[in-house]
Copies of this chain bind each other. A is one copy, B any other.
Amino acid sequence: MDFSLSPRAADLQARVRAFVADEIEPVEAAAHQRITRLRESGGDHWTPDPVIAKLQAKARAQGLWNLFLPATHAGRYPADFGTDGGEGLSNVDYASVAEAMGRSFLAPLVFNSNAPDTGNMEVLLKYGTDEQKEQWLEPLLRAEIRSAFCMTEPAVASSDATNMAATARVEGDEVVINGRKWWSTGVGNPDCKVFVFMGLSDPDADRHSRHTMVLVPRDAKGVRVERMLTTMGYYDEPLGHGEVSFDDVRVPLSHVLLGPGRAFEIAQGRLGPGRVHHCMRAIGLAERALELAVARATSRTAFGKPLANLGGNRERIADARIAINRSRLLVLHAAWLLDQGMSAEAYSAVSEIKVEVPSMALDVIDMAIQLHGGAGMSDDFPLAAAWVGARTLRLADGPDEVHRNVIAKIEIGKHTA
């Protein structure tokens, strides 16, 4: 057993950390204020801040680019796409890098490692045809365009993916798409040019073969972004979460991913690493919240003492330290299990972190908010937005309840086998 980072992960983590601390955190507040100012004045608050492109160029030049690409891509998308030597990281190695990116809402964008683009790129890498790769994957790897993932629907409980009612029917050499999706993240960004759409193609097929995944250009006829949703008041620019209607949208059959009826097959493979990424970023966020909490607790005074010396504040700081450390290990272990190949244990582990980590992060961030008083609820600190992001994670990619059920099923299976 060895808990030390590999030299490569240690090096990348250190470099990403330094980049975040030196280049990103200092511009965070200005970027946030710029968006706020534009939003409040009815301006364009969706086009990404120019600072992002500038920082992207710098990150790419330093080889801190597309680090999420899995080991399996080796040789396919080498250095000219900015990846580190053309060889992907293992899940466990990337996890530590992702933690370093999680500290700032801007960082994943800067390193071209933000959801849902990462997941979409992985899907294209793994299942895309050469034509699909050339058209969509390569510009995504260069951050020239952005993408969205259209799965959740407003009219049904999407926690059960088989509830999905929007349709993607094959008609000759076309796919005809109808229905309404929401929580399509990334849609706010005008650079978002392609949607990975999942819909019902054959209601009579086997439960997990009824759905198809298909690439839909944003400018296809019949696609309409109805509105941008907020999460507890936040628009989450520059990505944003859109509600999108599809009205008799027609795309060529060649836009189908992997093949009609194979959407679940793709969705499964997409989710393991994606959840590791989300969770490690949430751990980075929690670490930052703890740092802010300690800084506030030691710099502000009430009743003649630093806040840190009042009531249960030290105990809460200790509990946060415990909670973060145990969650980080759980995620690293899940990543390591994924690296060993898919197994019931790995499958359970991914659901375990999905339940554990967002709630842990919420607790830590909430504690930090409380120590900041009203300031913690405002946008003068990144805590309020961090809390909302972590809260959303308890729903995105399957609510806690669904994951608990997966874990229990595996656990009961072990004992009854």
Chain A residues with CB under 8 Å of chain B are 1-6, 9, 39-43, 92-93, 152, 154, 156-160, 163, 182-183, 229-235, 290-291, 294-295, 297-298, 300-303, 307-308, 310-319, 321-322, 325-327, 329-330, 332-333, 336-337, 348-349, 351-352, 355-356, 369-370, 373-379, 384-385, 387-388, 391-392, 394-396, 399-401, 403-409, 411-412, 414-416
Contact A355 B1 (CB under 8 A): no
Contact B319 A330 (CB under 8 A): no
For the complex, what is the distance from the CA of A92 to the CA of B154, rounded to whole Å? 42
For the complex, what is the distance from the CA of A232 to the CA of B9, rounded to whole Å? 35
Contact B321 A348 (CB under 8 A): yes
Taking a contact as CB atoms closer than 8 A, the residue among B1, B311, B322, B375 that contacts A405 in the complex is B311
Contact A329 B333 (CB under 8 A): yes
- The prevalent SS among residues of A at the interface is helix
A157 and B405 in contact (CB under 8 A), knowing A291-B415, A370-B395? Answer: no
Q: A182 — which chain B residues lie within 8 A by C-beta? A: 374
Q: A156 — which chain B residues lie within 8 A by C-beta? A: 300-301
Q: A399 — which chain B residues lie within 8 A by C-beta? A: 370, 373
Taking a contact as CB atoms closer than 8 A, the residue among B301, B403, B411 that contacts A157 in the complex is B301
For the complex, what is the distance from the CA of A329 to the CA of B319, rounded to whole Å? 17
Contact B388 A232 (CB under 8 A): yes
Known: A291-B415, A374-B392. 17 other contacts (CB 8 A): A1-B6, A156-B301, A160-B301, A231-B384, A232-B388, A308-B408, A315-B405, A317-B412, A318-B352, A318-B355, A318-B408, A325-B330, A325-B349, A326-B326, A326-B330, A329-B333, A377-B395
Taking a contact as CB atoms closer than 8 A, the residue among B232, B348, B374, B412 that contacts A298 in the complex is B412
Closest to A330 in B: B326
Contact A375 B159 (CB under 8 A): no
A318 and B407 in contact (CB under 8 A), knowing A356-B326, A373-B157? Answer: yes
For the complex, what is the distance from the CA of A307 to the CA of B157, rounded to whole Å? 9
A411 and B318 in contact (CB under 8 A), knowing A3-B333, A159-B302, A234-B232? Answer: yes
For the complex, what is the distance from the CA of A330 to the CA of B333, rounded to whole Å? 11
For the complex, what is the distance from the CA of A373 to the CA of B330, rounded to whole Å? 25
Q: A42 — which chain B residues lie within 8 A by C-beta? A: 40-43
- Taking the closest CB of chain B, its distance from the CB of A191, in whole angstroms, is 20
A325 and B352 in contact (CB under 8 A), knowing A232-B384, A385-B233? Answer: yes
Contact B1 A302 (CB under 8 A): no
Q: A416 — which chain B residues lie within 8 A by C-beta? A: 294, 298
Contact B315 A163 (CB under 8 A): no
Contact A401 B310 (CB under 8 A): yes
Taking a contact as CB atoms closer than 8 A, the residue among B295, B314, B408, B415 that contacts A408 in the complex is B314
Taking a contact as CB atoms closer than 8 A, the residue among B231, B330, B355, B379 that contacts A230 in the complex is B379
For the complex, what is the distance from the CA of A361 to the CA of B414, rounded to whole Å? 20
Taking a contact as CB atoms closer than 8 A, the residue among B322, B336, B407 that contacts A356 in the complex is B322
- Taking the closest CB of chain B, its distance from the CB of A198, in whole angstroms, is 16
- Taking the closest CB of chain B, its distance from the CB of A114, in whole angstroms, is 19
A374 and B348 in contact (CB under 8 A), knowing A1-B332, A157-B307? Answer: no
